[in-house]
Chains A and B, each alone.
Chain A
C-alpha cells in the first residue's frame, strides 16, 4: 500500500504549525480537512459522499476553539469520528420479523460479493437463535451455485429448497414459501443470482421474485473492498427493490472499507451484518463506531478491548501484573499468559486490530506463526514442575530431555530460555523505572530496550 501515515499523525502535523496561535483560522482548518478528505478517499469512500461529509465536519469544527486543546488534531479527529459513526447509523442489527411466519429474507448483490456464502452464514446465525431457517437456491445461472448452497446447508444442517437450474427463479421462490409453511420453517432465506446492476433482464427477474414473495427483508450484499462504484451499485439496487439492509462481506481483509459509508449514505439503509471470516459462524452484527475508526485507519481498538474483556480473567491479570513487577515470573506464568493471549483469537487478527500496528516497520514482515507458538508451548510443557519454577535448574542434559520430549531441537530450547531470561531482565528494568519516582525519561529507555532485548518468544 501506498505510504499512508495514519490520519492522526497527519492531522498532528497540520496542527503542530499552529502552536502559539490564538485561533485556528479557516485556512488552517481547510488544510486539516484536506487530510481528512484524502484519508477518506484512500479508504474508497465515494468522492461525492466525502464532499458532503467534509462540509458537515467543517461546519462543526469551525465553531470550536480547537487551539486551546493540547492536541487540536485529536479534537478534529474526534469530531470526524463521531460524525462518521453517526452517518453509519445506530447499532441496529436485528432482522425484521413477519407477523405471520415465515419471515422472508431476500439476498441481492453483484457477482462475487458473497451472497451464497452469506446466506449460509445467516442461516447459521438464525439457528443459534433457535430458529428454523430454510435456504432457497434461486441462482440457476452460475454453474454449481445450487450445489454450493446445498453443501452449506448440509454443513449447518439446514434444509435447502432447490428445483434444479431449469425452473425459473420466480417459480422456485413461490414454491419455497409453501414448502416453508408445510415444514414449519420460520425464516426463508432466498439466495439470488449475482448480477450487474445495469443488467435489465436480471434486475427485472429480481423484481418479479420480490413481488411474489413480498420479503420482509431485502439485504444487499456488498463486498467491503468495492471501490467508488459502490454508490452506483447500491443506488440502482435500492431503486429497483427498496432495500431494507446491507451486509458487508470480506471485512476480514485489509481493506479500509469505505464502501460501507458510501452505501449507507446513498441508500440510508442500516448495515445489519458484517462477515468477518471464512468460517460459517463468522457473521457478526455491524458496529458503526468500529467501522468509523477503521475507515480512518485508526485500528479497531474497541473490538480488541471487548475481546480482551471477554477473554481475560481480571484477577489473573492482576496477579500477573504483580509478578511482572516483582520479576517473579516463571515458566508457569509464561504459559498462562500465552493461553490468555490466545483466547483473544488468532494472533494476526489481534495484531491487525491494534492501531498503527500495520504501519509499524518490521511488524508487517513479522510472520505470526501459530505453529511456532504451539512449539513454544510444547517446550514449556516438557519441563518438570521444578524446572518451570526455577528455570536456572535447566542444565544441558535437562535441556536435551526437554528438546526430545517436545519434539524440538536443543537449539530451539536454548533460544526460548534465553528469550525468557531477557524478558525477565526487561521486566525488572521496567518495574524499577515505573517505580515510585514515576516514569521519568521512561519512554526513551523503554524504546531502547524494546529495540535491543524485546523479542517475541514466538
Chain B
C-alpha cells in the first residue's frame, strides 16, 4: 500500500469537519509550497544542478530555513546517486516522504492535562504573535468540552491587554483574574492559581506580556512567573506553549531556543497559518530543536484553533497529490 493511501485511510477515520478546517486553512500553504514542487518536477524532467537550485528556492521561500534545506538537499542528492535516479518524477515520492518525516516526528500533539485537579497552561511569546487571541480561542474550546476555565491576565505591560483578555472572557463566558495594569505579573499568577484552587476549575490559562527573547530582564521575569506557578502547584504548569507567528522567519528558531531555556517550553502554537504564510519554520524548529507543534490557528473564527495533527497537516498539504494517485489507481483498475 502506498504511503498516501495509508494516510488517506487514517484520515478517513477522523471527522470531516476537522479535515475541512485544515484543508481550508492551509490552502495558501498548499499552493505556495507543494504545488510549486509539483510544478517544478513536471517542468524539469531531469535532475540537474538547476533542479536542485530551484527546489532549494522553493523550500527557502517557505521559511524552512537554510540549514534544514541544505541538509534535505544533501540527503536527496545522496539518495539520487544511490538509487541512480534520473527522472525528476521518481524523486517525488522520496521528497514527499522526507518532508513528511521532517514534519511528523513523534506524535504527541495532545495537550498534557493534569491527571486530577487543575491543569495550568502558560502562554509565552514575542510581541504581537497572538497569545491573547489564542487563549480566548482555547478557552472557548475547553468550555465547549464542558470544562470550567479561568483566565489569568498576566500581560500587565501592554496598554489594553487586560481589557482584551476581558473581552474574550465575556465572549466565551469565563472569569478573568486580573490586577491593575503595571502590576507584577507573578503576583497575578499567584492570585490566579489561588483562585483556581478555590473554585476548583479544570483549566487555568495564563497570559503573559509579549517580550523579545533577547531582553534578559524580561526573560527573567518569565522565569519568575514560572517559578511562582510551580511553587503553588507542584505539577504546574502542565504546558508552556510558545506562540509563534507563522509569518516569522529564521528568528523563530532563536525564539524557540531562548524561550525554551527560560520558561521550559513544552510545545508550540502556530498562529496565522491561514495567511499566505507557509509556516515552514516549523520544520526547521522540529529539525533543530525537536519541539512538537500542539495547536495551529487556521482562521479568525473561534473554532479555528485546532489541535495540530501531523497527518491532517500533511494530508491537507498534499491533497492534490493524493487525489491524483487515487485517480491513477482507479484508471489502473
**Residues of A in contact with B (beta carbons under 8 Å apart):** 1-2, 38, 41-44, 46-47, 51, 110-114, 116-117, 120, 142-152, 155, 196-198, 223, 225-230, 232-233, 250, 252-256, 258-259, 278, 348, 352, 367-370
Contact = CB atoms under 8 A, between A and B. Distances in A.
A147 B251 contact: no
Contacts, number: 159
B276 A229 contact: yes
B34 to A, nearest CB: 16
B202 interface: no
B277 A151 contact: no
Given A1-B253, A1-B257, A145-B160, A367 B247 contact: no
Given A2-B253, A112-B127, A368-B216, A47 B274 contact: no
A227 to B, nearest CB: 3
A275 to B, nearest CB: 10
A46 B250 CA distance: 12
A258 B275 contact: no
A144 B62 contact: no
Nearest to B62: A228
A197 B275 CA distance: 7
30 contacts: A1-B250, A44-B249, A46-B61, A47-B57, A47-B61, A112-B127, A114-B127, A117-B158, A120-B159, A143-B164, A144-B162, A145-B164, A148-B160, A151-B159, A225-B126, A225-B245, A227-B248, A227-B250, A227-B252, A227-B281, A229-B276, A229-B277, A232-B276, A250-B128, A253-B212, A253-B213, A254-B254, A255-B250, A278-B157, A367-B216
Contacts of B41: none
A196 B274 CA distance: 8
Given A47-B61, A152-B159, A155-B159, A223 B247 contact: yes
B252 to A, nearest CB: 8
A373 to B, nearest CB: 13
A232 B66 CA distance: 20
Interface of B: 28, 57, 60-63, 65-67, 126-130, 136, 157-164, 166-168, 171, 181, 212-217, 245, 247-254, 257, 272, 274-278, 281, 288
B249 A111 contact: no
Contact of B249 (A145, A197, A228): A228
Given A114-B128, A227-B63, A44 B251 contact: yes
Top 4 closest A-B pairs, CB basis?
A227-B249, A148-B160, A112-B128, A143-B167
B190 to A, nearest CB: 23
B272 A196 contact: yes
A42 B254 CA distance: 12
A222 to B, nearest CB: 10
Contacts of B67: 2
A199 to B, nearest CB: 9
Contacts of B245: 112, 223, 225
Contacts of B158: 117, 148
Contacts of A146: 160
A225 to B, nearest CB: 4
A387 B249 CA distance: 54
B278 to A, nearest CB: 7
A348 B213 CA distance: 12
A151 B163 CA distance: 11
Contacts of B126: 225, 250, 253
A405 B277 CA distance: 58
B214 A253 contact: yes
Contact of B63 (A38, A142, A228, A233): A228
B163 A225 contact: no
Given A44-B63, A225-B248, A228-B63, 16 more contacts: A38-B66, A51-B57, A142-B164, A143-B171, A144-B166, A144-B167, A145-B164, A151-B181, A198-B28, A225-B252, A228-B60, A228-B62, A253-B212, A253-B251, A254-B212, A348-B215
Contacts of A352: 214
Contacts of A148: 158-161, 163-164
A319 B66 CA distance: 49
A1 B254 contact: yes
Contacts of B251: 44, 225, 253-256
Contacts of A51: 57
A1 B164 CA distance: 33
Contact of A144 (B164, B215, B247): B164
A38 B60 CA distance: 11
Contacts of A225: 126, 245, 248-249, 251-252
A43 B216 contact: no
Given A1-B257, A259-B249, A144 B272 contact: no
A144 to B, nearest CB: 4
Contacts of B247: 110, 223, 226-227, 229-230, 233
Contacts of A255: 249-251, 254
Contacts of B248: 223, 225-227
Contacts of A254: 212-214, 251, 254
A1 B261 CA distance: 13
Nearest to B160: A148
Nearest to A262: B249
Contacts of B288: 2
A232 B129 CA distance: 19
A229 B251 CA distance: 14
Contacts of B277: 227, 229
Contacts of A42: 66, 250
B160 A44 contact: no
Nearest to A3: B67
User: Quick one: which of A41, A144, A233, A258 has the most chain B CB within 10 A?
Assistant: A144
